[in-house]
Amino acid sequence: MAVTGPTAKKQFVIVLGLNGLISLVVWFYITTYPGLIWSATSSMTACLPAKSKDLKEWKAENLTNSFSVEVNFEPTDNSKTYRDRNTLLYEKCETLPVDRVRGRRPIYFFAKSKSLAFCKVPKAGSTFVGTVVAALELRKKPGNMFHMSLAIVHGQNEVDFSTLSKYSSSVVKKILVTRNPYTRLFSAFTDKYFVLGARPKTIATKKGKGRFEMRNGYCGYDISFQEFLDYFTDLHIAGKEVEEHTMPVSSLCYPCMVHYNILCKQETLTADIEYVLSVTNISEPRRQTVMELIRSKSLNDTIYASVSYHMLYFNLYPNDCSSKILLMEKVWKVFQLQGYISLSLTFPINSFQNLTDFDAENVTTLILEQIQSRPLSKSQMSKQRQIALAEAYSSIKPSTIARVQRMFAQDFHLFGYDKTIPTRHGKNH
Ligand SMILES: *[C@@H]1O[C@H](CO)[C@@H](O)[C@H](O)[C@H]1NC(C)=O
Ligand SMILES: *[C@@H]1O[C@H](CO)[C@@H](O)[C@H](O)[C@H]1NC(C)=O
Ligand SMILES: *[C@@H]1O[C@H](CO)[C@@H](O)[C@H](O)[C@H]1NC(C)=O
Ligand SMILES: *[C@@H]1O[C@H](CO)[C@@H](O)[C@H](O)[C@H]1NC(C)=O
Ligand SMILES: *[C@@H]1O[C@H](CO)[C@@H](O)[C@H](O)[C@H]1NC(C)=O
């Protein structure tokens, strides 16, 4: 249930009459922000929109005369790490900063047959989680489900909160995946704003910026990381909605209102998902299959998924990128920022020009060959990634950093991420 502010208690059950409920919601409406208010009965059946226009739609019949609200934490497992994360979160919910960010409603990847629901957080492992859920729901043995375009998994097995509420909350395990806001935003920028697409195009149009000129042509839009951060923090300050990649996890998943059983972190996602599977009621062969799938995810799959995604956008935005070679040069840069391709490798323009059949599989093969010519160890990869991150933030204005910190205050606070900006040697967990 929606319990915010200093009055919230760690463990309580309130029984409210209808009048009490309405004043409670009006109170939230006045004291928090005109966004969404989630209310949960003990079986999580009531979902109450509190935008002023939605308030009219409320009918007494949607509510029982009295209901109970629980925010008590019941440990559902015996692993200390996960129990501690959960305890910390629900303790911190008592001291929640009031500010909220407007955006879309929660969406869940729901493995119905396994009673597992993951709140969907773009840029915090959502493709990975969506793939695992798809593998859990598949009747037959899954193939290599990671070797596909990033775009495919989205839309599958997704339900909204009210659909999820139809299932008893005591049966459905709800899982939240969090991520350091700084890395998440930089990842959103490099993946979704740096190359091509509607989102960066909107910023370019609104800021009067043109296409990004390179070599003998252009590809993408001339917007910097600074401009990207300014754009959505401006929207937030003006009380407008921001898109999901730039919304805090706390505003996408309402962790202090919806009770989550397990907290996962993008930073340790593989291990965390394996833990989730270990406490899920699934047959042993199926668990083994899904574990193998997770462990078999290779660089080949990662590169292929990203390449096919960007090639799709190349076809969707034919006027915004003058050639596939320039597209690949930008994607190459993205892979360097993400730590896959060594910074010491220059873009092999001739090899790309020599490709006779420019499809995602061929491009992936070429990129993997290049990577093999100067391979990076795991620690070199993460070091390169960290340096790119630190450099990106080092050029950002302090006033912008302050706005990001304010907007993501709940994520920093609730999930225990360090507010100091990333450094070359930082860990960001
Ligand atoms: C309230 O219930 C009615 C019918 O039972 C339904 O049509 C309506 O959408 C519900 N409103 C909300 C806000 O859930
Ligand atoms: C586990 O799943 C099996 C098969 O789907 C089901 O029969 C059983 O009741 C479940 N056990 C629990 C504790 O939910
Ligand atoms: C590209 O193809 C030409 C002609 O077949 C060849 O001479 C050249 O070595 C190739 N370059 C690369 C980098 O593969
Ligand atoms: C690309 O893929 C096609 C088949 O899709 C193959 O015939 C071709 O040799 C591949 N290699 C290059 C360099 O185009
Ligand atoms: C990458 O994976 C695909 C699909 O599994 C496979 O066909 C291809 O040969 C792999 N490429 C490399 C370089 O391993």
pLDDT in tens, 280-305: 888 888 888 888 888 888 899 889 98
Rounded distance from Cα 120 to ligand 5 centre (Å): 29
> What secondary structure letter does DSSP report for 118?
E
> Residue 172: is its pLDDT beyond 50?
yes
Dihedral angle computed from the Cα positions of residues 32, 39, 72 and 120, in that order, rounded to the nearest 10 degrees: -90
Rg (CA), the chain: 23
Rounded distance from Cα 304 to ligand 4 centre (Å): 15
Q: In what order do the strands lie in the sheet with 173-178?
A: 158-160, 107-111, 116-119, 173-178, 262-265
Contact 262, 86 (CB under 8 A): yes
pLDDT tens digits, one per residue of 210-255: 889 988 899 999 999 999 999 999 999 998 889 999 999 999 998 8
Contacts (Cβ under 8 Å, ≥6 apart) of 59:
none
Q: No. of H helices and E strands in the chain?
A: 18, 9
pLDDT tens digits, one per residue of 121-160: 998 888 889 888 888 888 776 666 776 666 566 778 889 8
58 lines ligand 1 (CB under 6 A): yes
Q: What percent of the chain has pLDDT over 90?
A: 44
> Residue 198: is its pLDDT beyond 60?
yes
pLDDT tens digits, one per residue of 35-53: 333 333 322 333 333 333 3
Q: Look at residues 331, 362, 329 and name the one whose alpha carbon lies nearest to residue 346.
A: 329
> Which of these ranges, 67-81, 104-118, 233-247, 321-335, has the smallest mean pLDDT?
67-81
Q: Ligand 5: which of 145, 148, 300 to mutate, judged by most atoms within 8 Å of the beta carbon?
A: 300
Q: Tell me, what's the pLDDT at 263?
A: 93
Average pLDDT over residues 336-363: 93
Task: List the residue whose alpha carbon is closest to atom 4 of ligand 4.
Answer: 357
Give the CA angle between residues 128, 133, 136 to the nearest 5°.
130
Bridge partner residues of 119 (DSSP): 108
Q: Look at residues 58, 76, 83 and name the one whose alpha carbon lies nearest to residue 39.
A: 58
Q: Tell me, what's the pLDDT at 26?
A: 36
> Residue 80: is its pLDDT beyond 60?
yes
pTM for the structure as a whole = 0.78
Q: Ligand 3: which of 350, 353, 356, 362 to mutate, judged by most atoms within 8 Å of the beta carbon?
A: 350
pLDDT tens digits, one per residue of 202-212: 999 998 888 89
156 lines ligand 3 (CB under 6 A): no
Name residue, tokens 């005109």: 34
